[in-house]
Amino acid sequence: MLNTEIIADSFPALHQTIGDNRLVYLDSAATTQKPQCVIDAIVSYYENDNANIHRGVHTLSQRATQAHENARVSISRLLHASRPEEMVFVRGATEAINLVAQAFARPRFGEGDVILITEMEHHSNIVPWQLICEQTGASLEVVPVCDDGSIDMDAYKSLLIPNVVLVSMAHVSNAIGTINPVKEMCKLAKEVGATTVVDGAQAVGHLQVDIQDIGCDFYAISGHKMFGPTGIGCLYGKYELLQEMEPWQGGGDMILSVSFEETTWNDVPFKFEAGTPNIAGAIGFGAAVSWIQEIGYDEIFKHEQELLAYGREVLLAIDGVELIGASKQNAGVIAFTLKGVHPHDVGTILDHAGVAIRTGNHCAEPLMKRFGLAATCRASLCIYNTRKDLDYLGVGIQEAMRILG
């Protein structure tokens, strides 16, 4: 049995009070807290090894380069990529999707081409494709979501016409937590020859991801949603595809040689990493991956599923609570509304009780509209949460009902 209290001990930010109450952090879908080992890795890099990478022959530069590239190897192993070069360092999942849009889609797509996304996407998996449609004349189609928050697979199949050139979908919904059948969706997309992009920002901190098993062409992740620092993420791309693609930003590190007549590109993945990268971020990200591997995805997933079931039980026992989405295949995200109480007020009242949740549209306005809501409350769970945390959530919600319900 997993001892979550020992796990929570590794996260210094969790040990504080908000007013008179112990902090209960239920906003890990926005960003997870950071274990001490990640913080230490970043501090140690700056204290001991700080140097620019790839170019210097001196010792510090070699150490920094080694640590940066070791992180790439760890991340590629975690996701079961076929080689580390398939992992491009970016600022986060948003930049990863924009990279695919601008460097892969923009030069290839044109009028008559269809880009398919789903109704549950985060704005970061909607807007980059809207830009591509404006820039290339391609059109955007949307797969609807069922009442339980799952993707309407029949509609998906009927929307997969031969004109579909790219399908981009969330692995796990940030707003309601649905785990999508991405393997099956990629397989179906391949049957019409479409390129597949999976937004894995909400998946990789919570469940085992095997990129080769999923069979996608691109997979986007953010370090800060899986115990790493902000400002670092990865784009996985199939090696052959990355090789075919032109760079999207020019600068140092992404070139082999430069003259005013001709410039030649560096190899994959450096071709897509112009400028001095977020070295400390990558190293912190690598430490986060090691931490996840130490705990193991089996334990993480099992614990979060238990908490999800318990959390739903706690909330449903309160009069006036309605769960939004709540599909059978769900990650540890509980989206809900309180009858007669605006989510913004719930957020303030819970904060007062020390309970941090997220309220609003969760950067998924189309999904909110689909459920006829302007905003919801979202409690998102993580390996360091406990049943006690969810009891505090329940007490806070009862207080909100008492004040405003």
Partner 1 sequence: MSDLRELYLEMVTDHAKNPRHRGKTDPCDCIGTGHNPLCGDKIVVTISLDGETINDVKFDGEGCAISTASSDLMSEVLRGKTIQDAKDIFHGFHELVAGDGTAESVPKKLAVFSGVREFPMRVKCATLAWHTLIAAIEGNKEASTE
Q: Catalytic residue numbers? A: 363
In the block, residue with structure tokens 């949740």: 357
Give me 71's structure tokens. Answer: 């992180």
Pairing of strands 87-90, 233-237: antiparallel
d(CA 48, CA 31): 28
For residues 357-376, which are near partner 1 according to CB under 8 A? 359-361, 365, 368, 374-375
With H, G, I as helix, E, B as strand and everything else as coil, classify residue 397. Answer: helix
Shortest distance in whole angstroms from residue 163 CB to partner 1: 34
The number of residues that bind partner 1 (CB under 8 A) is 21
140 binds partner 1 (CB under 8 A): no
- Is the Cβ–Cβ distance between 376 and 362 less than 8 Å? yes
With H, G, I as helix, E, B as strand and everything else as coil, classify residue 251. Answer: coil
Cis before 269? omega within 30? yes
* Terminal-residue alpha carbon distance, the chain: 39
d(CA 382, CA 89): 25
Shortest distance in whole angstroms from residue 150 CB to partner 1: 24
Based on CB atoms, which residue is closest to partner 1, 306 or 322?
322
Single residue of 13, 43, 258, 403 touching partner 1 by CB under 8 A: 403
- Is the Cβ–Cβ distance between 151 and 180 less than 8 Å? yes
Shortest distance in whole angstroms from residue 310 CB to partner 1: 27
Task: Give backbone dihedrals phi and psi of 79, rounded to 5 degrees, phi first.
Answer: -95, 5
Give me 220's structure tokens. Answer: 């986007």
Based on CB atoms, which residue is closest to partner 1, 316 or 374?
374
What is the pattern of x (binds partner 1, CB under 8 A) and - over residues 12-31?
------xxx-----------
Contacts of 330 (CB under 8 A, 6+ apart): 149, 176, 177, 178, 179, 308
Shortest distance in whole angstroms from residue 404 CB to partner 1: 6
Burial class (CB in 10 A: 0-12, 13-18, 19+), 49: buried
Shortest distance in whole angstroms from residue 352 CB to partner 1: 5
With H, G, I as helix, E, B as strand and everything else as coil, classify residue 26. Answer: coil
Based on CB atoms, which residue is closest to partner 1, 123 or 183?
123
Based on CB atoms, which residue is closest to partner 1, 204 or 346?
346
With H, G, I as helix, E, B as strand and everything else as coil, classify residue 40. Answer: helix
Shortest distance in whole angstroms from residue 132 CB to partner 1: 24
Shortest distance in whole angstroms from residue 26 CB to partner 1: 17
- Is the Cβ–Cβ distance between 354 and 21 less than 8 Å? yes
Based on CB atoms, which residue is closest to partner 1, 85 or 365?
365
d(CA 8, CA 275): 37
Give me 400's structure tokens. Answer: 């909100």
Based on CB atoms, which residue is closest to partner 1, 269 or 343?
343
- Is the Cβ–Cβ distance between 324 and 376 less than 8 Å? yes
Based on CB atoms, which residue is closest to partner 1, 309 or 374?
374
What is the pattern of x (binds partner 1, CB under 8 A) and - over residues 317-356?
-----------------------xxxxxx--xx--x----
- Where on the chain is the footprint of partner 1 (CB under 8 A)? 18-20, 340-345, 348-349, 352, 359-361, 365, 368, 374-375, 403-404
